[in-house]
Structure 1
């Protein structure tokens, strides 16, 4: 199956969601929350809007509490 480049497809939701997910894996929760907020403002389905809203809320909470993933990947 061919890989889809989110930027080429002009799928802003996918681009922001992918960036947010990568930021979460690095425990960069403030950055992830910001990217999820951008995903929320993108043209997307109700299910994706719901998911992005919940992830943004989680990331904002994690950033405020200073959480760090024990296996956070550095430099990805």
Structure 2
């Protein structure tokens, strides 16, 4: 297993949503990232994908609730 997500694969919806969620996290858009991780979770095929998407969803939802990633906030 290469560990790389094939986001452009025609049937890899998990990869598309996960990649979008990762980009949103990097930009500090935790609310959007949580939404995308939730969508990725719906398309996860294996237990490891479901586990990862669930944990990232929980983390991003918590970060959004706490206001992380909002400029000029501390």
Question: Conserved in 2, the CA contact under 8 Å of 1:21 and 1:32?
Answer: yes
Root-mean-square deviation (Å): 2.0
Cα deviation per residue 1:19-46 (whole Å; 9 max; x = unaligned)? 0000000000000000000011004210
1:10 offset after TM fit, Å?
1.9
Secondary structure, in 3 states, of the residue corresponding to 1:20? Answer: helix
Unaligned runs of 5+ in 1: 71-76
| Higher deviation after alignment, 5-14 or 41-50 | 5-14
Structure 2 CA distance for aligned equivalents of residues 20 and 44 of structure 1 = 17
* Aligned positions of 1:1-76 closer than 5 A: 6-68=7-69
Residues paired across the two proteins, number = 67
**Structure-2 change in CA distance of 1:5 and 1:53 (3 Å):** closer
Offset, 1:9: 2.9
Q: Which moved more, 1:6-15 or 1:23-32?
A: 6-15
C-alpha distance in structure 2 between counterparts of 1:13 and 1:30, whole Å: 18
Q: Structure 2 unaligned runs (5+)?
A: none
When normalised by structure 2's length, the TM-score is 0.80
Could you say which structure has the greater relative contact order, defined with CA pairs below 8 angstroms and 6 or more residues apart?
A: 1
